[in-house]
Structures are given as structure tokens and as C-alpha cells.
Structure 1
Amino acid sequence: MRKDITVPTTITPRRPAPIDGTLWLTGGHVVDVLGGTVRRDVNVAVADGRITAITGTAPAPGSRTVDLGGRYLLPGLISVHTHLSVVYPFSATDEDENPGLTAMRALSRAQDALHAGVTTIRCVHEQHRAELLIRTAAEQGWVDAPRIVGAGRAISTTGGHGHGSACSYADGFDGFLHAARTELAAGADLLKIFITGGIAHEGESFTGAQMTPEEMRAVVRAAEEHGSYVTAHAGSGSAIREALAAGVRGYEHAYELDDATAKEMAERRVFLTPTLCVTRCPDWMAEHSFSSWQIERATQVGPGHLDSIRRAVAAGIARPDDPGAPGITMLAGTDYPPGEPIEDTVVAVREMEFLTDAGLSPEQALRAGTSDAARLVGLAGQAGAVEEGLLADLIVTDRDPLSDLSALRRIPFVMQAGRIVRDDLPAAAPAAAAAQTRTGGTA
């Protein structure tokens, strides 16, 4: 794992500190993403960046409060497949770009995500390891950003899927072992590899492996040396089966899964991030300078991609109440910057809605972007739920997202580690929330 960063005592943090004393979020309903229930009409106390109480008792007179007005309080969103430094079209990538410019572009997208309610992100390739720079700046108090877990630069074979994207390039066991150790030494929390092609480059196929089993094992070895893990850009079942045998723990995209591979993934209890956005958003792609060929290719792959993820769901979803049972942990990750506008929401929320199209219930999709994602990024027991003692990473919706996931399309309040990032709460409760409170609506 990455080394702790020591902040010199001569630096004065510029980042707003958590509010001194206790702040009460009053008159809300707490969404239990683990149990799939709603705890109604409670008050939540936040102090020193954490949730200190969830109670039906009113705070003492004179306490500092934020009136939720019958709205729903749930954990901040976590997006686990993020690229902050990417440029569109991909062909415009300049591998020799000034690292300062790369970091500034990435920071802008990180702050967009935070404002949208994404309080933690996992980056799975950034040019110049930009996310690690942002993480350091945030930890030293210079910038606001989501909590960041980063892979540094993804590792690609020479001429492979990552070619031209400012990745780390390697070949052979020793080459991949060296490249993996280099990213970990630079501060990466995990390692990302490309085991197949994808849909972004003309003439490329996502069937068949671009890495040998020995090369995969080299990266897994380096990760295990640091108590970390490997996730793989993966298109087809045949390559995924090789990666499973090599010890790869996480998989991204899975455009073409067969039933047997999906079953083996469930038996090995792996993590899968479908990134359904990349094959289901042609209008967004057109607005971001994707070529007509790329848009056509994505939409062609889209139906099969959705069917593939449905097979993964049918193979079994991991259960939070039985962590040892077979099952795939399905996760919410966008591939695109998660705070980017799309339709009347942001990409992070649209991805969670797409997961319900693939067969997840609203409850399961909500866990994919909160509690299950927290387990993957090493924040189990720290974030991903609204519970006493956990980090006060919180968002608010007008309606119950367990009943209708589209409630996430409006997030008027965001808190990260006890700091109010966004407060667009109106003075009065919306009519719909007030009516539901009066009638005792169910979760």
C-alpha cells in the first residue's frame, strides 16, 4: 500500500476544516443502504468529521442545525472507475503535455465530482499520475477534492489498448514486474492493466488476450508484495478466465461474458465494474468529440454489453450479510469523469441507473455506488453508510432512492468528512416529501 504522506508543520492548510463543535442535520430520514430500510424522522449529529449520533431526540436549544425538511440522508457516492485527466477525442492526447496542465484539468473534474455528491473516487489511470498529485494537495490542505484512491498510470503492452494514452508500457514478466513496482513506489494504491483491446480504437478487438498469463502474474506478484490488488480492463470471457487463474481481483467493462466465466467470477468473489455508460450514451459521446466510428461501435456493442452484465447478475451478486458466499460484487464506475452533466443528471448517477437496467434492484445499485464500493477502496467500516462513528460523507435527496433510484438526480446537499461542500436546500420542504412524511410512506 502507499506510504503515508507527512505534511510539513510549516505549511498552513488552506482547505476548510470540519466545523468546530457539533452540527445537527435535523428532520430527515436516514437511508440504510446495507439493510435496505429507512429510519424515519431522526436527527444526525456530526462532529470532528464523523457521525456522532443518530437519534430521534431533538438537539438542545441553540445548537447549530441544518433542517433537512423531511428529505433523505444517505452516504456520499463512490465512483470506482474514473479518469480525470482524459481528453476528448482520445487522439488529442499529448503524452508530453506539461504535468501542471494535466493536474489542473484533472482537479477541475475532481471538484465537479465532489460538488455532484461523489465524495470518493478510484482512478484507474491518469496521465502523469495526476490523481496522486491532487491527493497530496488535498491532504496538505491546498485544494478541495474527493477522497482519492489511485492506480497511477495503467500498464499496457507495447502497442496495446493503452497505446497513446500516456500509460506505462511493458513487455514480458520482468518488464511488467518492474512497471508495476514503479507505480506502487510512486504512491499507487492498486494496479491497472489492459488484458484485452476495447472499443475506442478502430481495428481493435476485445476478444483474445493482449497480455500473457506470465505478464498478468508479474503484476499480481507486485501488488501482493504491497498488500494491494490488480484490476483489469477486460472485454471477453476467455481473457478473464486467464486473469482469474493469475489472481487478478477486479474487472472493468466485461463487454462479452459467457455463462461459465460469469459463474467462475462469482465463485472467486471478484469485483466487477461494468461501466455501462460507455456503450449507452451516444449523445454524450457526440457532444465530447468522439468520432462517428467510435459512437457507432459503442452503440453496436451496447446490447451485448448489457446482456453480458445481466449474465453476471444471474451468476449471483455478493451479499453484504454473507461475505463468504459466492457472488460478484457489482460496482458503480463511469469511465467518463463522474461529475460530467448528462441528460438532467451527472454521469455517476446515470451509471447507477444503468445498473438497474442490467438487473440490479435500486437497493443493490445504491450499494454498488456506496457501501460495496467502500469495501473495494479500503473504506469498509469508515465510509459508505450512515452509521455512528463513520466519516460524515453525506448527501441528501428529496425522495427515497430505495423506492426510486432517480431520486439521485437531485442532490441539493453534499458533506464530506463533516465539511459542507454544497447546500442548495430550500427553506421549506418540497410538497412531495412533506406529503410522504404525513402519510408515513414506506421504504
Structure 2
Amino acid sequence: MKECGTVWLAGGHIVDVDRGTVLRDHNVRVEDGVIAEVGTAAPPRGARVIDVAGRHLLPGLISCHTHLSLVFPFADFDPAEPGVLTAFRAAQRAYEALRAGVTTVRCVHEQNRADLFLRQAMGRGWFRGPRVFAAGQAISTPGGHGSTIGSVLAGGGEEFHRAALAELAAGADHVKVFINGGIAAAGEDVTAPEMSDEEIAATVRAADEHGAYVVAHAGHSTAIRQALALGVRSFEHVYDLDEETAGLLAAAGAYVTPTLCVTRSEPWMRAHDFAEATIENARAQNEVHLRSVRNAIKAGVRLVNGTDIPPGDDVGGVPAVIHELELLHEAGLSRLDALRSVTTTAARLLRADTRIGRVACGFAADFVAVTGDPLADLAAMRDISLVVHAGVPIREDLR
């Protein structure tokens, strides 16, 4: 499926998500999937051209909290499911995410390590999907929040260290753990801690040994402070985050993926037959979650876009990744920082900010195009009409 050679994207208004400016009527030359030139030079006669005249061109979107293999409702999870079935489900969601404009995903737990196998299949040209930063299987304490979704179970520092090394050896880019309870099942408590200092420290040590990092499902400030002190720098959900802890996260340069979708997508949950207890948990956490994200914004925490639900799924008429973008803006994030949460800031979290997340020379030729200017009105992101991944057009609605 790899498409080589030269292609031009002509006449677009390029959104510079670093400076918050627009370069009008510019052309982009792509060579073998990489941006080779951005300027006003015209494509030569006979060149392959994608006409983006009049549209705003942005980097492809990055989703930092992705599960491609989860089944809904959660009660349908089969721990004995053959890996081939998991891979088919994950592949379909990956392709739907790509068509929605998500050109890179960070997976944070996949049953049967489906993310690692999808990445391998895409690398061999057998399948077209987003670029994958993989976690393999998450690691959970027995009976913990991740214990019912196919995570590796561990107890004590030695077991967590060994389990983390196993995922990294298999090809994971980061390690996912659960430091708090969640809201998936009746009786869960987001304030309940689930890992000891020894277990967190051992996981961080394993990640450090491989030049990787730890991603923590995090529900409450107490456990967040515990994990932050032990070297965790990436936190998911933060359902209950106080101002003091938000300040500590900002001072440490940590990243938070708020996943506001989780507590603000009730119609989607009902359409997927979620248990009433799960829906009620999300509803009950709704306002506390929003206040927590506002605390993070006020403190200047680095926020990135992640949905928890498949990023290409329709939520209220838009892909989940756009729903989350709008929710972050409604919570108080500026339009520019909301766009950065799904491009440049996300790329820095992934340690790939010299390769993805910008429309600039030397970067991957990942693009989305919209009719309006999202710096003026974020609603423009609802109208993605073009998706290009590594120089290959995936979707062109105005052809």
C-alpha cells in the first residue's frame, strides 16, 4: 500500500499550530511520504496535485488515549477470545479513526496485544491505518480496574517490573498501569488507590531501562501525587483533580489526557448498550470531572486529546476525537491550545515532535483539510473533507 513519489497539495491555507497563524495560498510538496517543501512555488506541469485551494490545511490528528480492541458493553468481553478476532475488530476501528482524520494513535491497552500486531501488519503494507504508538497489554493488580479487560495481572514490585519488561520487550512504546479505580462497573471508586509505592517505582524503573515511560489510569489526586513523586509523567482521566495537585503536575511538566468523552457521551453509551450502572457512574462524575479539567487548564498542565472510546466513532454527529476537541475548548482551553492538544502537544508526549504534528519540512505528510479557519471557530473541525496519511490520500470529499 505504500505510495512513493512526489505529490503536491496546492493552494491551501496552512494552519501553523506552533505560532497560531495561517499561511495563505501555500503549496506543500511531498516526497515519499515526507514533507519536502512548504511555500508559494507552483507545482510543475504534469505533477500529481491534490487541490486544497480555499481550504485550511492542518497536521493529521493525534489521539493519545485509544483502545481499538475493547468490546461494548463491557460485559461482552471474552478473556479467551482468539487473537485473530481481536485483530479484526481493532483493524476496523483503526481504519475508521484514520478516515476521521486521526493519523496517529497512542494505544493504552489492547487485548491480545492487537496494537503491536496491527503496527506490524501496517509496516508490511498489508493494511492501511494510523501510525501506532503501542502499549501492548496494560498491567493491573488482581481485582483492580484493569483486571476485567485482559490486562496482565501483577502484585508486588518484582512482578510489576517483570510484566513491564515483557511488554516493552514485545515492542511496546510505553507501559500502562492503573493507580486508581474507575467508573466502568457498579461499586467502583475513583478515589481508591490500587498500586503501592513499590509497584509504581518498579514499573517506572522498567520503563526507564528501555527509554520508555509509564501511562497511569488516574482517578484521584492522592494517587496522582503518589505516582508523580515516583516518576510517572502521563496521567489519564483525572476524574477528581484538586488545584494543588494540578499545580504539581504543571511544575513537573507532566501530561494529562482528560478524556472528557467518558463522562459526556451518554447517548453513545446507550447506543452501545452500556450497563445502567456504568452510565450512572459517568453521570455522577460529570461535574467533578469538568472541574478537575478546569483546574488543570488554570494551572497550565499540558493537555492532550484522547477519547477512551474509539476516536472514529460517531458521537453526536461528529467523530469522538472532534467531540473531545470541543469539550476541551468548552472547559476553558483556548482554540489554539485545543488544536495543539491533538497535534503538537500530543507529538511531544509521544516523543515524536520532530516527526509528526506539524506542517513543516521533514515531517510526516499527514494532513487534514477543513473549509473554515479553526483558529477563528473550532467548529470548522467538524467539516474535515480531506485526510492524507504519509502522503497517501485516504479521503477526499470534494474530489
TM class, shorter-length? over 0.9
Pairing 1:266–2:239 present: no
- Separation of aligned partners in 2, 1:297 and 1:98: 31
1:413 has 2:386 as partner: yes
Residue 314 of structure 1, aligned match among 298, 315, 320: 298
Corresponding position of 2:66: 82
1:54: Cα distance to partner?
Answer: 1.4
1:412 aligned counterpart, secondary structure? strand
Residue pairs, 1:81-100, within 5 angstroms? 81-100=65-84
Question: Structure 1 length normalisation: TM-score?
Answer: 0.89
**2:329 aligned partner:** 356
Equivalent position to 1:400, from 367, 373, 386: 373
2:102 aligned to which of 88, 101, 118: 118
Matches of 1:368 and 1:338, distance apart in 2: 14
Are 1:17 and 2:2 counterparts? yes
In the alignment, residue 270 of structure 1 is paired with which amino acid? Answer: A
How far off is 1:208 after superposition?
3.1
CA distance in 2, matches of 1:214, 1:109: 36
Q: Work out the CA distance in 2 between the residues paired with 1:190 and 1:61.
A: 46
Which residue identity is paired with 1:420? P
**Residue in 2 aligned with 1:391?**
364
Q: Does 1:36 align with 2:11?
A: no
Matched residue type, 1:262: A
Alignment of 1:275-290 (within 5 A): 275-290=259-274
Find the partner of 2:345 among 351, 354, 372.
Answer: 372
In structure 2, distance between residues paired with 1:416 and 1:171: 41
Contact 1:32–1:38 under 8 Å retained in 2: yes
Determine the structure 2 residue equivalent to 1:208. Answer: 192
User: Number of aligned pairs?
Assistant: 399
Aligned residue for 2:104, secondary structure, equals: strand
Q: CA deviation at 1:272?
A: 0.3
5+ residue gaps, structure 1? 1-15, 317-327, 427-443
| Alignment deviations for residues 118-138 of structure 1 (CA, whole Å, 9 cap, x no partner) | 000000000000010000000
Aligned to 1:322: none
Deviation at 1:92, TM superposition (A): 1.1
CA contact (8 A) 2:56 2:370 kept: yes
Displacement of 1:42 after TM fit? 1.1
Give the corresponding residue for 2:217: 233
Q: Which amino acid in 2 is paired with 1:261?
A: T
Secondary structure in structure 2 of the residue aligned to 1:420 = strand
Give the corresponding residue for 1:291: 275
For 2:4 and 2:169, how far apart are their aligned partners in 1?
Answer: 35
1:193 lines up with 2:163 in the alignment: no
Distance in 2, matches of 1:347 and 1:151, equals: 21
Offset at 1:378?
Answer: 2.4
Tell me which residue corresponds to 1:319.
none
Secondary structure of 2:27's counterpart equals: strand
Among 397, 404, 423, the residue aligned to 2:396: 423
Residue number in structure 1 paired with 2:228: 244
Q: Write the distance in 2 (CA, Å) between the matches of 1:399 and 1:167.
A: 42
User: How far did 1:57 drift?
Assistant: 2.7
Q: 2-side partners of 1:296 and 1:248: how far apart?
A: 30
The superposition leaves residues 188-242 of structure 1 with CA deviations (integer Å, 9 ceiling, x where unpaired) of: 1100000000011111101131111111001001000000000100000001010
TM-score, normalised via structure 2 length: 0.98
Asked whether the 8 Å contact 1:68–1:425 carries over to 2, the reply is: no
Query: In structure 1, what is the Cα distance between the partners aligned to 2:225 and 2:351?
Result: 25
Q: Tell me the CA shift for residue 24 of structure 1.
A: 1.5
Describe the SS at the equivalent of 2:113. Answer: helix
Task: Tell me, in whole angstroms, the C-alpha distance in 1 between the residues paired with 2:101 and 2:140.
Answer: 32
Question: Is the 2:141–2:154 Cα contact (8 Å) retained in structure 1?
Answer: yes
**CA deviation string 1:249-279 (max 9, x = no partner):** 1000000011111111111010100000000
Equivalent AA in structure 1 for residue 120 of structure 2: T
Aligned twin of 2:154: 170
| 8 Å contact kept, 1:124–1:154 | yes
**Which of structures 1 and 2 has the bigger CA Rg?**
1
Q: Is contact 1:23-1:45 (8 Å) kept?
A: yes
Distance in 1 (CA, whole Å) between partners of 2:16 and 2:183 is 37
* Residues 274 and 333 in structure 1, CA contact (< 8 A), matched pair in contact too: yes
What letter corresponds to residue 165 of structure 2 in structure 1? Answer: R
CA distance in 2, matches of 1:342, 1:259: 30
Structure 2 segments unaligned to the other structure (5+ residues): none
Amino acid across the alignment from 1:360: L
1:282-337: CA deviations, max 9, x gaps?
10110011112211221111111000010011112xxxxxxxxxxx2100000001
Letter in 1 for 2:374: P
- How far did 1:408 drift? 1.2
Structure 1 residues 131-146: aligned runs within 5 Å:
131-146=115-130
Preserved contact between residue 25 and residue 53 of structure 2 (Cα < 8 Å): no
Cα distance in 2, alignment partners of residues 146 and 60 from structure 1: 30
**Counterparts of 1:265 and 1:25, CA distance in 2:** 40
